[in-house]
Amino acid sequence: MLKTDYSPLLDSFTFRNGVALKNRVVMAPMTNFASLPDGTVSEEELAYYVRRSAGAGMVVTACVYVNASGKGFQGEFGADRDELIPSLRRLAQGAKAILQIFHGGRQCPPELLPDRQTVSASDVAAVLPTGGNGPVPRPLSDAEIVGIIADFGEATRRAIEAGFDGVEIHGANGYLLQQFFSPHSNTREDRWGGSQEKRLTFPLAVVDEVTRAIKEHAKAPFLAGYRFSPEEPETPGITMADTFVLVDALSSRGLDYLHVSLQDFWALPHRGTEDTRPRIEQLMDRAAGKLPVIGVGSLYTADDALKALQSGVGLVALGRPLLVEPDWVQKVAEGRADEIKTELDPAAQAELVIPDYLWGALLNTPGWVPIKA
C-alpha cells in the first residue's frame, strides 16, 4: 500500500508582498488565558508558544486588546500602550509571527474594563450560547469610534516595533468589528450604521488605518490579514450574502490574506446563498485571484489538512490540533504522520506545555477538544 504524499503541506508559500513561509501550515490564534494582569506576557504563556512555534510556517498569536475598553478575556495580553512593546517582543520569535489585534466590544466581561461598562455599535445585548443575554452595552460616540480606529493603527505600530512579521485584524467571533457589520448588533442611523454599506464603514476604516500604519512605520514587508466569521445565528444577522460583500470590500483594501473562522472546515451555509457547497469553497471563489484564503476547522490528521489544502485554500490553520499535538508539522515532515495524536491526553499537561487555566478549561468544557479516554 502506497504511503500518502503529504509534501504539499510542506511546500513554501510567498505572499504578494514578498513575505515567505517555509510551509503551508499556520498556527491558528487561540486564547490561552495566561497573561499577567498588567497585560504582559507570562513565562507560562511564552513556554506554550515556544513549544508550538517551531513547526508551523506562520504563528498567529492570541488576540491582544488595542484599547483598555476592549479587553475580552481574563489573562489576555495587551498592545494598548508603548510600555508593552518589550513584552510583545518576547513573542515575535521563531516562525513568521503575526499579532492578532482586537477589541471585544459587547463581548468583554465588565469586571475587566476600567469603568465596568461594555461598549458596542448600539445598545443591543449579545445572545449568550448558554441562553439569555449578556450585559447591555453603551453605544460608542462618534469620537470614541474614531479613537478606536486610531488605536488599531497604534497597535500595528507597536507590533512593527516589537519585531512581528504582520498583524491580523480580528473581525470574527462576534467581537467589535463584527458587531458593527452585523444588522443584529448595529442599529445606528449615522455614518456608522443603517445600510449594509454604512455597517461596513468601521471595519474598513480599521483596515485602512492598519495599512496606513504599515506604510508609515514598516521598514520591511509586513503582513496585514483579516479574520471573519461568515455567518451569524441571530435574525437579523450576518448571512453569506453579507459576507460576499465583505470579502469584495476587503479584497480591494491592500490586505495580504483573509482568514475564515470556522469550527468545521467543511461547514455548510445556512442562508444568503443558493449554493449548497461548503462555505469555504464559496468564499474561495469570491476571493479568487485577489487574496489568499486561510482555512481552519477541526483538521486533526494530516489527511484532514491535505484534503483541506487540496480544496484550493492557500494555507491551512491548526488550532486545537496543535494543543493536542505540538509536534504535528514535525511528524508530517519526518514521515510519521500516522503518529500524530488527535486526542488530548489528560495526563500530559507538562509534556504539552499548556498553561494551567487553559488546561482546566480544556478538560472541563465538553466538545472543545477530543479527550483520550
Q: What angle do CA 341, 344, 347 make, to 5 degrees?
A: 110
Burial 182-206 (b: 16+ CB within 10 A, else e): bbbbbbbeeebbeeeebbbbbbbbb
Q: What CATH number does the domain located at 7-364 have?
A: 3.20.20.70
pTM over 0.95: yes
pLDDT digits (tens, 9 = 90+) for 211-262: 999 999 999 999 999 999 999 999 999 999 999 999 999 999 999 999 999 9
pLDDT of res. 93: 84
pLDDT exceeds cutoff 90 at 301? yes
pLDDT of res. 1: 58
pLDDT of res. 2: 67
What is the percentage of the chain residues whose pLDDT exceeds 70?
Answer: 99
Active-site residue set: 175
Mean pLDDT of the region 161-189: 98
Identity of the amino acid at 318 = L
8 A C-beta contact, residue 279 and residue 268: yes
pLDDT digits (tens, 9 = 90+) for 93-146: 888 999 999 999 999 999 999 999 999 999 999 999 888 999 999 999 999 999
Under the banding of pLDDT at 50, 70 and 90, the label for residue 29 is very high
8 A C-beta contact, residue 248 and residue 286: yes
Closest to 24 in 3D by CA, of 372, 300, 309: 309
pLDDT of res. 207: 98
pLDDT of res. 130: 84
Alpha carbon distance 301, 279 (integer Å): 21
